[in-house]
A and B are shown apart, each in its own frame.
Chain A
Amino acid sequence: MPSNLYDIEPIERYLLGQMEPAERVAFEALLQADEGHRAEVENYRRLFGGFAAIRSEAFRKLALLWEAEADAASDEVELIEWYLNGQLQGPGRNAFEERMLSDEHLAGEVEAYRQLHYGFSAARSEVFRDKLEGWESAKSSPVALKAASRRPLLYRIAAAAAAVLLLAGFGLNWYANSHYSRPALVASYYQPPRSETIMGNDQPTLTTIAQQFTRANELFQKQHYAEAYQAFDGLLGSLPAAGLDKFNHQYFLEQSEWNRLLAAMAMDTPPLDPAGEARRIAGADGHEFQAEAKRLSRQLQSVWYKWAN
Chain B
Amino acid sequence: MSSYPEDDQLIRQLAAGDEGAWRRLYDDMRSPFRLFFIRYGAMAPEDALNLFQEAMVVLHRNCTGGKIQPPLTSSIKTYLFGIGKILLKKNGVDTRHWDDDIPELPVAPEVESREDQRANAELVRRLLDKIGEPCKRLLELIFVHGYVMDAVAEELELPSAGAARKRKFDCLKKMRDLIVFKT
Contact = CB atoms under 8 A, between A and B. Distances in A.
A90 to B, nearest CB: 6
A9 B117 CA distance: 24
Given A52-B65, A56-B57, A92 B121 contact: no
A53 B124 CA distance: 9
The number of chain A residues touching the other chain, given as a range, is: 35 or more
Contact of B66 (A18, A58, A91): A18
Contacts of B89: none
A17 B179 CA distance: 23
5 contacts: A44-B176, A48-B143, A63-B26, A66-B26, A66-B27
Contacts of A70: 27, 30
A43 B26 contact: no
Nearest to B43: A92
Contact of B61 (A43, A52, A95): A52
Contacts of A202: none
Given A3-B176, A43-B176, A55-B64, A91 B40 contact: yes
A129 B155 CA distance: 66
B120 A50 contact: yes
Interface in B67-123: 67, 69, 99, 112, 117-118, 120-123
Contacts of B39: 82, 87-93
B156 interface: no
A174 interface: no
Give the most central of A57, A66, A92: most B CB within 10 Å.
A92
B117 A56 contact: yes
B113 to A, nearest CB: 11
A98 to B, nearest CB: 9
A58 B144 contact: yes
Contacts of A82: 35, 38-39
Nearest to B61: A56
B53 A60 contact: yes
A128 interface: no
Interface size classification for chain B = 35 or more
A43 B179 contact: yes
Contact of A88 (B35, B64, B120): B35
B31 A78 contact: yes
Contacts of A94: 42
Contact of A53 (B49, B56, B120, B169): B120
B66 A16 contact: yes
Which of B43, B120, B175 has the largest number of chain A CB atoms within 10 A?
B120
Given A63-B26, A75-B34, A47 B40 contact: no
A46 B123 contact: yes
Contact of B60 (A3, A46, A59, A96): A59
B143 to A, nearest CB: 4
Interface string B113-141: 00001101111110100000000000100
Contact of B180 (A3, A75, A76): A3
